[in-house]
Structure 1
Amino acid sequence: MKKFFAVMAVILFALLATAAFYFPLTTSEAQADFGVDPAEPDMPRIWDRSRSTFGKEDFLKERAEAYAIKRGIIDGNAPDPGARPAAVRKMEQQEIARDLLPPSEAKNALLAAWSPIGPNPIPNGSFPWSGRVIAIAVHPTNPNIVYVGAAQGGLYRSTDGGTNWTALMDNALSLAIGAIAISPSQPETVYVGTGEPNFSSDSFFGVGIYRIDNASTTANISGPFNKNAGNSDIFTGRGIGEIIVHPTNPNVIFAGSTSGLGGIGGAANNVLPSRGIYRSDNAAGASPTFTKMTGLAANTNASIRDLAIDPNDPNILIANAIIGGGTGGIYRSTNALAADPTTATFALVEAFNSTSTSELTAEFTAIHPAANADATFYAATGNLGGRVLRSTNGGATWTQQIDNNFCTPQCFCDIAVAVDPVNADKLYLAGSPTMVIGYSSNAGVSFTNSGSGVHVDSHAIAVAPSDPNTVYLGTDGGIYKSTNAAASFTSLNNSQFFATQFMGVSVHPTDPNFTIGGTQDNGTNYYSPTGTWARVDSGDGGYTVIDQNAADTTNVRMYHTYYNSISGTLAGYATRGTTSASWLFRGCNGSAGNGINCNDTNVLFYAPLESGPGNPNSIYFGTDRLYRSGDTGVTHTVVSQAPIESGVAVSAIGISPQNDNVRIVGLANGGIYGTTTGSLTLTNLDPSNTVPNFFIARAIVDPNNVNTAYVSMSAFGIATVYKTTNLSSGTPTWTLASGSAGNALPLVPASGFIVDPSDSNTLYAGTDIGVYKSANGGATWAPFGTGLPRVAVFDLAITAGSPRKLRIATHGKGMYDISLATAPTVRSPFDFDGDNKTDISIFRPAPGEWWYSKSSNGGNGAVTFGTSSDTLTPVDFTGDGKTDIAFFRPSTGLWYVLRSEDLTFYAFPFGTTGDVPVPADYDGDNKGDAAVFRPTTSTWYISNSGGGTTITGFGAAGDRPVPADYDGDGKADVGIYRPGPGQWWIQRSTAGLVAVQFGQTGDKTVPGDYTGDGKADIAYFRPSTGNWTVLRSEDFSFFAFPFGTTGDVPVPGDYDGDGKADAAIFRPSTSTWYAQRSTAGTLIQAFGQAGDIAVPNLFVR
């Protein structure tokens, strides 16, 4: 919060714990199995349901530890302070390179715009919520100009008292705001300190101090400034707890540096800058530098959470130093403006027996008694549960005013204070939960609690210097305002203020809006089909799941996690149907329940929750073992070792949407285990530690390929995504899938990860600085979209509808989504019944009969259409999803098409004698286009179904046409095979020309998408050996396999409808078909007779 000209200063001290996290719950929304503390309606009595010795402080401590583990801050590790800013700068370079790419559909997709969808805000009766607000500063002469800093939501400005908000620093190197200070003598200059100083493990570290000039208008931002005179970085990786600006000189500022943790993920052994008090004497210049005031506590590396200055004598500086061993407490300097900052001296004037944190505020010079040269200071300390101290002699000595535990048990975080600008005896004090906010009219001797309706976890109070009735309050629920000196408050959280810290997101299978997401401290929230938000459950929301069998929005089964604790004997999650009255707890709460054991050796605070296939979806939950439920959580069975690794928690679960027996599990220590057969003993999938041993944030099985899986890690300074394509081998090979050089993911946590189910080659990664996309299975990556703040993205989901959208859960700016390019419709060739499977089919020349076996129901279809001299050209000309029987008559150049819809036909001229018909969808409208290749001139003529004719010269004498969609853009590409040298030449419509040597004279061309990545693979069948050889489009590696023998006719197609081409042959000697289906096994079927032509062989050249 902002500190102004002061004669009286107030210092807040609080017991230091490992973190600050909260669990609000309104009575009306209390989950069925948990009671509510009537004295604190926003806090569920969850520990009352578990061990009697497990209290709220234990709950908060374990949440802190969970964040630290997930962030990799364990065993003395510290996050790499330079990794995140370096990643942002690299992203900026990648965005420039992306913008310079030549025009293409792929580039247009990367440049789509992100849109915020809320919560805007979270409904909470008359007090809607947002997310954690840490710092507030009010203009000295205009109470309507206010600056607000959020924990990971950046800086907001309002010039109309909070009616409207403008985000000012969304592209800064850090969106974690710790302190805001307005220059008293030059109020258009505002200093912003980055790095949340709350000592919580989800507090993101900062990069130093930004300066904003013309702050209330054009807001010209400079920085970050973080260097000393020797050009060493003294702030990056730390948090700025407070900034004090000299009362009359905007060039002189004091900054308190604190511990800065890394948010959710990441670790590296690094030396962080020394904490303490820093002074700059050129802060308003082009290149400010800072000097550490080493006279404090013998230059101890101590966190300084807050500072206060005597505005009449700026040499008097008061600080709270967080130091162990009884030397922490209130320090005082009387020569803070010494010419050399290193010579300024500090004396310990009030020691506390524990480490402590603090906040400061001050009243105006105008009310300072003329007869008293000494400033009056106040200190609010979390020591002994919450006390207020007072000094009337400039901070030299202190006396206790109250000892009423006003901030128990969250004094280490939820504590704030302010003073009335015209009445030195009126104080405002806040803590959690005993006094959310209260005021005193007798210099802190007693307080009146006045925080009814606001979020219970308070962090900042700011009184408008020019209007003492205007009081702003910052809590975990956002920003509030009082116009009656804190007698009552109203919420300023609106559609322009985004600060919600989401943990997870899940979407409905058919409705594009229906979404649930868990948040830190603000419950589980619901985005309705009508686009409105509701808080559907309270507490700390974590992972979420929506059953994908939901056929509508009125009967939906949903799941989400609360907190979990082994020491608290609580492990499980909640489920609810849309017609249910409340959430039902699934798990154990003090004794074994539903098959989940409270005596497991470990569980994460935010335990992973995932769904598998089936109706209802199977549900998986992780402690130190993997649990599975097939009945919406009513019962559970252990489907792994018990434990997988003793004392190590499961951190990620991946289940194949195709096969519930394919499971992969990531551990908090980097271990990876799994099974592809449903075995109850999971196999170590990375025994050689190819994947670095860091927290596994996500484990994902390709939704279209049970052999492909990915893991992403929360870690700084390393590549974070790995991939295997042989999962079922038992000993899968892991390869880096993070890209390289300028096309790599940033070296920061990748907490979110998803594979596009419509195109397995398209991947999205949610990183600490935004979203990246890969269009080639992780080989290269690029920043995805425009307009997204540099915020941490914890989870991603792809919505239903058209267009589909990528929806993301950010940890500080709410949810965003972005429209995805319409995925090309991949239809199986020779599909006469429209079930997206290739049908066995023949043409009998003599009578001109077509016969096909319907894969949808096993029945047969037959029609007479054409003669023995016609060239057969069956494709879907009408776009109804069914192949139309058709032929080209060389003698006349006429095409005849028998509509599949009603078996009427039409004819049209296109081509001449000698032309080779090559029908395909060249314009990407899901309709086959009539086309011919003219060998005499090597010219292609394409009659686009949308209108117009395309004429392209491509090829040479003797070439064979091989059109197919080789670049996966939904359009067939012109291509030829040159038999002599065995060369393929492809003119890809979006990816450019490619030429490869693959094959030899006598081979038969059988291009198709054999790998399921949405792109046709170059391939051939060798009749002399019966071997098929496929060149993968992903990386141009190849594989070969035998299927057939001499005399067989290759008939490739997608016979099982899984989006992958299957090798298949027709054996004329017995009229038998053999198809090696990629997911349904080998098909053997007799169909036809001697002399029949196999229709799926028509375009084999």
Structure 2
Amino acid sequence: MRRALPAIGTAGVLALAVSALTFQGPAFSGQAALSAGSQTSASLQLPGEEEDGGPAEPADYLTQKFTSGKKVTDAQIKQAVQQAKALKPGSGAWDLVGPSNIGGRVTDLAVDPAHSDTLYVAASGGGVWKSTDAGSTFETAWPDDYTQTVGALAMGPDGTLWAGTGEANPSGGGLTYFGDGVYRSTDGGKHWQQWGLTGSAAVGRIAVDPTNPQTVFVAAAGNLSGSASERGIYRLTNHGKDWQLVLPTPNATTGGVDLAIDPTNPKRIFASLWDHQRNSGARLYGGVGSGLYRSDDGGDTWKRLENVTGTHVSDTSGTGLTSDASLGRIGVAIAPNDPNRVYVISGNTYGPDKGFYVSNDGGDSFVPGGRAGGSSGFEWWFGRLWVDPKDENHLFNADVNLRESKDGGATWATSSGPHSDQHIVQWDPNVPNRVYLGDDGGVYRSDANGATRSWIHATYEPFNQSYHLAVAMDDPSRLASGLQDNGSNRTWTAAAGPSDLTQWNSYGGGDGHFVVIDPSDHNIYYECSQVGNCTRHEDTNGTTRNIRFGTRHSARITTDAPVVLDPSDPSIVYFGGNVLDRSTDRGTTWTQISPPGDYLTGPVPPEQDDQGSYGGLYSTITTVGVAKTDGNTIYVGTDTGRLWKTTDLGANWTEFTGKGLPVRWVNSIVVDPANADHVFVAYSGYREGDYAANVWETTNGGASWKNISGKLPNAPVEMLAYDQPNDQLYAATDFGVFYDKNGKKNWKRVGDGLPNTPVLDIKITGDGKTLYAATFGRSVWKIALPQQ
């Protein structure tokens, strides 16, 4: 596997009680005391070294501010790569299952002017793809063993393809991932070479001089949660690898995000810098480092542009493009047929549009235009404008809906038809009025210049982003997956069972998250969209009945709220918010079985308290494990790093925080189906810039814990699955899927051929013969079990 870890920062942690705390009494009175303490997690190691991970440097979460983390050295990055490659694979090869008919987030797109009907797209977690049939079907044009997170794509006038790894779109409730620099291909994506900027973490845009393909600019965005050694605007002038930082950033939380080159005067370049950062709970997607700049000498010198006459109706602060804490992401575009016409869109720190501006003098001055954006409330997800190469007054703005103006931005309407959340538009120079679009639903084409309802969706694009996966226990072809911004999807319909596993169909909207299939009756199944909006579905006589979950008792619910069935009685359902709810009628009614308020989760620390639209999503339950041998025994983990157990259905609770366990986001709890005291737990510090692998085991009900991370590559562990008959533990990580047999910590890679993209869920079929992996960018894969 060939993926370098991004820069790793010291993780801010909420130091809770070092000793186990026990709650007594069903009345839920009192609150667990908090005290400071330090925790450990696995550290980077080479194969052959001590299997147990060493300690990671702790930090006090209560005093941790938004700061860059510690820089990872090149030697440590090489260690991590060697570590992953050195793990021997088990038998067999992974096979793609699907879906291929839905599509996932496309971050960038390049049309090949020299070959008709040919284009390339960058998928958020899916690499680079090529189409030779005008965007109907795609084939991979990117090595599977490279990092699959690609944030930017551009083609030079000589046909050279440039790809920037790492996605600059920041996460809202979910996740985006980082990369290892810039790559180039001179043969249409058949072969790629790493081409520097390995410390950039994410690339917002690549722009190639249209008159000189040896001059390339890159907007290096940096790492949201940790440090990045390369941020700002970089220039390459001689096809070497000696990138020059031509527009540095004013602080360690700012990076480059957008670029535009004047096609008639390539010495004139526009660039935007963006100050943005996040941790586990809070997002600051704006700041004083954000700004719009112009160079008139090919990037040697830059001038900040902030000469705005008047105030845009969306700009509640009245600060325009000047340096201000409210200034967020900025997008800039030049009209190709009138380069003096320049358009700018900006957002504010917490999401809404801040202003849309128009210049008719090449950026010397700007005036407010119309209301370009909709009412999305998260402009940081978009920040792009595109101008019709033949009409300076016809342009598109990225938003939830594709926004279109035909009068130079004075008025705006929606171009209906494509999926939501737009990221890239490009006109085809070979076909009049043909324009391509990439969004969270994949690739679209219009042959009517983007007119409303003229968009045609691609038919084969297997680069979906799965959050969760479910497999029917009696039918390994009956699958369901929750997809990022593509709802929940299944391989069957109410009237027919699974047939073609490449063709999935939707049964729930929004961002698809937890999906569950009743193990006793596969005609009963569940889906949740973001923030725990969950529905039970029942198939009967060729139709589906949908029953929304009843009222639950949590004041805070995370985006990826857990829904878990009791393994011994699937009519019992558990739902986690800041409290744990239990239903005995499949989600129709609920009873709270944990203490009220912040007992299980702890209060929201000030530094984690999001002041924008994502407030109320942190300090919650993130995973629930119910014992099959004893339905009264339940384990609960939280995003604040707290781990709990009850053996009497919530009357009393024991906390295991401390006990040497890390205080990190608890991603997964798996209880041995044959022994309620045998439990595995996986942690992740990803949102804090900590990439240590953390898998822990107890065999005595939590009295003591052992770090079994061993030789796992240091990357967040997203999900665990336990094959109890064969005593094999499987771990889904951001580096792939690994397994450990008989608790020896001698981890091996599961099979060959799985693309190098994060795996967020894994499931073992009821017959124990197959393992499914849901990837965040390359759809769902399967492999035969057991691995040996």
What is the TM-score when the length of structure 2 is the normalising length? 0.78
Partner amino acid, structure 1, of 2:716:
P
Partner amino acid, structure 2, of 1:320:
S
- For residues 301 and 280 of structure 1, the distance between their equivalents in structure 2, rounded to whole angstroms, comes to 23
Partner of 2:14: none
SS at match of 2:467: coil
Size of the alignment, in residue pairs? Answer: 668
Change (3 A) 1:200 1:583: same
Partner of 1:711: 681
Instruction: State the shift of 1:711 in Å.
Output: 0.1
Partner of 1:210: 183
Instruction: State the shift of 1:382 in Å.
Output: 4.3
Instruction: State the shift of 1:156 in Å.
Output: 1.0
Matched, 1:575 2:536: yes
Partner amino acid, structure 1, of 2:480:
I
Instruction: State the shift of 1:97 in Å.
Output: 5.8
User: Which of 760, 770, 773 is equivalent to 1:808?
Assistant: 773
Partner of 1:317: 269
Partner amino acid, structure 2, of 1:724:
T
> Deviation string for 1:437-496 (max 9, x for gaps)?
4252x4334445332x2112211111113334110111111110111211244444333x
Instruction: State the shift of 1:172 in Å.
Output: 5.5
Instruction: State the shift of 1:161 in Å.
Output: 1.5
* Pairing 1:822-971 to 2, within 5 Å after superposition: none
Instruction: State the shift of 1:138 in Å.
Output: 1.0
User: Which of 276, 282, 287 is equivalent to 2:232?
Assistant: 276
SS at match of 2:133: coil
User: Which of 485, 488, 497 is equivalent to 1:521?
Assistant: 485
Change (3 A) 1:677 1:356: closer
Matched, 1:377 2:329: no
Partner amino acid, structure 2, of 1:132:
R
SS at match of 1:659: coil
Task: Please tell me the root mean square deviation across aligned C-alpha atoms, in Å.
Answer: 3.1
Partner of 2:114: 141
Change (3 A) 1:407 1:656: same
User: Which of 619, 622, 627 is equivalent to 2:573?
Assistant: 619
Matched, 1:738 2:724: no
- For residues 313 and 646 of structure 1, the distance between their equivalents in structure 2, rounded to whole angstroms, comes to 58
Instruction: State the shift of 1:718 in Å.
Output: 2.4
- For residues 90 and 407 of structure 1, the distance between their equivalents in structure 2, rounded to whole angstroms, comes to 43
SS at match of 2:730: strand
Partner of 1:604: 558
Aligned 8 A contact 1:73 1:79 in 2: no
Instruction: State the shift of 1:810 in Å.
Output: 1.4
* Pairing 1:402-441 to 2, within 5 Å after superposition: 402-403=370-371, 405-406=373-374, 408-433=376-401, 436-440=402-406
Partner of 1:771: 737
SS at match of 1:319: strand
Partner of 2:132: 159
Matched, 1:335 2:287: no
Partner amino acid, structure 1, of 2:170:
F
Instruction: State the shift of 1:732 in Å.
Output: 1.9
Partner amino acid, structure 2, of 1:390:
V
SS at match of 1:503: strand
Partner amino acid, structure 2, of 1:665:
V
Partner of 1:76: 66
Partner of 1:471: 435
Partner of 2:645: 674
- For residues 228 and 387 of structure 2, the distance between their equivalents in structure 1, rounded to whole angstroms, comes to 35
SS at match of 2:692: coil
SS at match of 2:550: strand
Aligned 8 A contact 2:209 2:216 in 1: yes
Partner amino acid, structure 2, of 1:431:
D
User: Which of 506, 513, 536 is equivalent to 1:542?
Assistant: 513
User: Which of 754, 757, 760 is equivalent to 2:721?
Assistant: 754
Change (3 A) 1:574 1:408: closer
Partner of 2:91: 111
Partner of 1:1018: none
Unaligned runs of 5+ in 1: 1-70, 99-106, 123-129, 228-232, 263-269, 369-373, 565-570, 589-595, 823-968, 970-1101
- For residues 462 and 390 of structure 1, the distance between their equivalents in structure 2, rounded to whole angstroms, comes to 21
Matched, 1:308 2:260: yes
Change (3 A) 1:480 1:167: same
Unaligned runs of 5+ in 2: 1-60, 276-285, 309-319, 493-497, 604-618
> Deviation string for 1:171-200 (max 9, x for gaps)?
35532222111112x11x111112211232
Partner of 1:586: 549
- For residues 764 and 628 of structure 2, the distance between their equivalents in structure 1, rounded to whole angstroms, comes to 15
- For residues 72 and 274 of structure 1, the distance between their equivalents in structure 2, rounded to whole angstroms, comes to 29
Partner of 2:615: none
User: Which of 782, 785, 788 is equivalent to 1:817?
Assistant: 782
Aligned 8 A contact 1:771 1:793 in 2: yes
SS at match of 1:512: strand
Out of 400-409 and 460-469, give the one that drifted further: 400-409
- For residues 62 and 567 of structure 2, the distance between their equivalents in structure 1, rounded to whole angstroms, comes to 32
> Deviation string for 1:927-947 (max 9, x for gaps)?
xxxxxxxxxxxxxxxxxxxxx
Percent identical residues:
28
- For residues 489 and 382 of structure 1, the distance between their equivalents in structure 2, rounded to whole angstroms, comes to 29
Partner of 1:834: none
Partner amino acid, structure 2, of 1:207:
D
* Pairing 1:354-373 to 2, within 5 Å after superposition: 354-362=326-334, 364=336, 367=337
Instruction: State the shift of 1:788 in Å.
Output: 1.0
Change (3 A) 1:534 1:143: same
> Deviation string for 1:602-635 (max 9, x for gaps)?
3322211111134444211112222222221233
Aligned 8 A contact 2:254 2:289 in 1: no
Partner of 1:460: 424
Instruction: State the shift of 1:381 in Å.
Output: 3.7
- For residues 84 and 586 of structure 1, the distance between their equivalents in structure 2, rounded to whole angstroms, comes to 49
Change (3 A) 1:623 1:328: closer
Aligned 8 A contact 2:467 2:512 in 1: yes
Partner of 1:290: 243
Partner of 1:1080: none
- For residues 364 and 71 of structure 2, the distance between their equivalents in structure 1, rounded to whole angstroms, comes to 37
Instruction: State the shift of 1:724 in Å.
Output: 0.8
Instruction: State the shift of 1:710 in Å.
Output: 0.4
Partner amino acid, structure 2, of 1:749:
P
- For residues 368 and 703 of structure 2, the distance between their equivalents in structure 1, rounded to whole angstroms, comes to 65
Instruction: State the shift of 1:299 in Å.
Output: 7.6
- For residues 364 and 287 of structure 2, the distance between their equivalents in structure 1, rounded to whole angstroms, comes to 22
Partner of 1:788: 754
Structure exhibiting the larger radius of gyration computed from Cα positions: 1
Change (3 A) 1:549 1:88: farther
Matched, 1:701 2:671: yes
Partner of 1:721: 695
Aligned 8 A contact 2:466 2:777 in 1: yes
What is the TM-score when the length of structure 1 is the normalising length? 0.57
- For residues 633 and 403 of structure 1, the distance between their equivalents in structure 2, rounded to whole angstroms, comes to 42
Aligned 8 A contact 1:332 1:348 in 2: no
- For residues 307 and 179 of structure 1, the distance between their equivalents in structure 2, rounded to whole angstroms, comes to 11
- For residues 677 and 224 of structure 1, the distance between their equivalents in structure 2, rounded to whole angstroms, comes to 58
> Deviation string for 1:3-36 (max 9, x for gaps)?
xxxxxxxxxxxxxxxxxxxxxxxxxxxxxxxxxx
Aligned 8 A contact 2:291 2:330 in 1: no
Instruction: State the shift of 1:333 in Å.
Output: 1.7
SS at match of 1:714: strand
SS at match of 1:514: strand
Instruction: State the shift of 1:548 in Å.
Output: 1.3
Partner of 1:1010: none
Instruction: State the shift of 1:222 in Å.
Output: 0.7
